[in-house]
Amino acid sequence: MRTLLLTLLAVSASANAGNALQLPTLEVSGSQASGTCGPARIHGSGLVQDDASGHSNVITPHGEIRVISGSKQLVIGEGDLQDRNMAACLSTPKGPRLVVAIFCDGRSCPPADYWVIDPAKAIVVSEPAGLDGCSLVCAEEALGVKVPEPLAN
């Protein structure tokens, strides 16, 4: 069985290292975590310390990310994820953006796909670049800044 992982990283000095969900603010309780990215509340579920394949601090295939801003909500979870997944809350010229990097190690999916999310509106603001989704170039155009190294691999 393929294990889907969601390791969340933040490009912020105030991020708490070692947790699956790393945002400028963070609260962890068992397999649940929450924090903020700009004005939105970010919830992660399905956190585990170590999974069956030996990865540490991940969100399991049954986990998800919820971006909640006012009455709007965006859910990223099973079906949207691939083999390796990471996310970061970034400061950009357009305001805070949550970037989810989805990496596929198989042959039947694009090797990398990016979702750039406006947390204030809880919407995806990146446009897919053809059948392969939103590439690294697409993500950087949507952000107005470079995607940090851990997410650009």
List per-residue pLDDT tens for the chain, 153 residues long: 233 333 443 333 233 334 556 678 878 788 787 889 999 998 887 776 665 655 555 566 677 889 999 999 999 887 777 766 777 789 999 999 998 877 776 777 777 889 999 999 999 999 776 666 899 999 999 999 999 877 786
Token duo for residue 19 = 């947790």
Count how many domains the chain has: 1
Task: Give dist(CA 23, CA 36) in Å, integer.
Answer: 6
| Residue range(s) defining the domain that contains residue 144 | 5-152
Prediction pTM value = 0.78
Look up residue 7 and give its DSSP letter. Answer: E
Q: Can you tell me whether residue 15 is helix, strand or coil?
A: coil
Amino acid (one-letter) located at 99: V
